[in-house]
């Protein structure tokens, strides 16, 4: 006759429970420290590339822009966007946009207290590099600061801010270009 062994119930004391929590918190802290240290070099590389993009943007040199785009894409897993300063209008001209393994969205965000705010428009781009793209907007821009931020696509090719999240590089920072719009 086969008998099924009774299940053994394990109980833990409050001290064991709290000790396990403390060990988990310490392990997470140590892991976070080492992950932060390992991404420092990548972050510094991106900051340098961002400065290259800004200086190239200010002199509008095609060769400088292309080199800066390649550097930025290399530092962020093949994802980069370059937008030049431009006059106000119903669309934004994208100098260059690159997506690594999969395509995604270039979304134009207005400025809200020095940070990206509402999305004014988005355009889907296939994987690889696209030059001279256009993002049509829901309403015209006015003089001020704007952001072109790369977003993922969940596969439906319909932009939805709640599921098509910003593409990020090290430390979770979005891949983006800040630019200014002037009155005509």
Q: Please tell me the predicted confidence (pLDDT) of residue 120.
A: 97
CA 20 to chain CA centroid, Å, is 35
Q: What is the pLDDT of residue 3?
A: 60
Dist. CA 119–CA 137, nearest whole Å: 9
Spatial CB neighbours of 17, under 8 Å, sequence gap ≥ 6: none
Architecture of domain 78-182: Sandwich (2.60)
Report d(CA 61, CA 182) in Å as an integer.
20
Tens-digit pLDDT profile for the chain (184 aa)?
Answer: 556 555 656 676 777 766 777 777 766 665 665 555 433 333 333 333 444 444 444 444 555 555 555 555 545 568 899 999 999 999 999 999 999 888 999 999 999 999 999 999 999 999 999 999 999 999 999 999 999 999 999 999 999 999 999 998 877 889 999 999 998 7
DSSP characters over 29-71: HHHHHHHHHHHHHHHHHHHHHHHHHHHHHHHT-HHHHHHHHHH
Residue 161 confidence (pLDDT): 92
pLDDT of residue 33: 55
The CA-atom distances, in angstroms, between 45 and each of 35, 41, 56, 75, 78 are: 16, 6, 16, 7, 14
């Amino acid at each position: 006759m086969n008998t099924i062994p009774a299940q053994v119930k394990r109980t833990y004391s409050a001290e064991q429970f709290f000790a396990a929590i403390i060990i988990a918190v310490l392990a997470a802290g140590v892991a976070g420290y080492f992950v932060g240290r390992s991404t420092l070099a990548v972050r510094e590389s991106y900051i340098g590339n961002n400065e290259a993009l800004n200086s190239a943007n200010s002199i509008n040199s095609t060769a400088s822009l292309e080199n800066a785009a390649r550097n930025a894409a290399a530092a962020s897993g093949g994802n980069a966007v370059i937008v030049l300063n431009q006059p106000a209008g119903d669309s934004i001209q994208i100098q260059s946009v690159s997506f690594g393994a999969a395509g995604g969205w270039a979304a134009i965000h207005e400025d809200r207290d020095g940070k990206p705010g509402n999305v004014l428009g988005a355009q889907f781009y296939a994987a690889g590099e696209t030059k001279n793209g256009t993002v049509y907007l829901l309403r015209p821009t006015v003089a001020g600061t704007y952001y072109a931020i790369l977003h993922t696509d969940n596969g439906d090719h319909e932009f939805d801010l709640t599921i098509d999240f910003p593409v990020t590089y090290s430390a979770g920072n979005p891949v983006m270009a800040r630019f200014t719009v002037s009155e005509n």
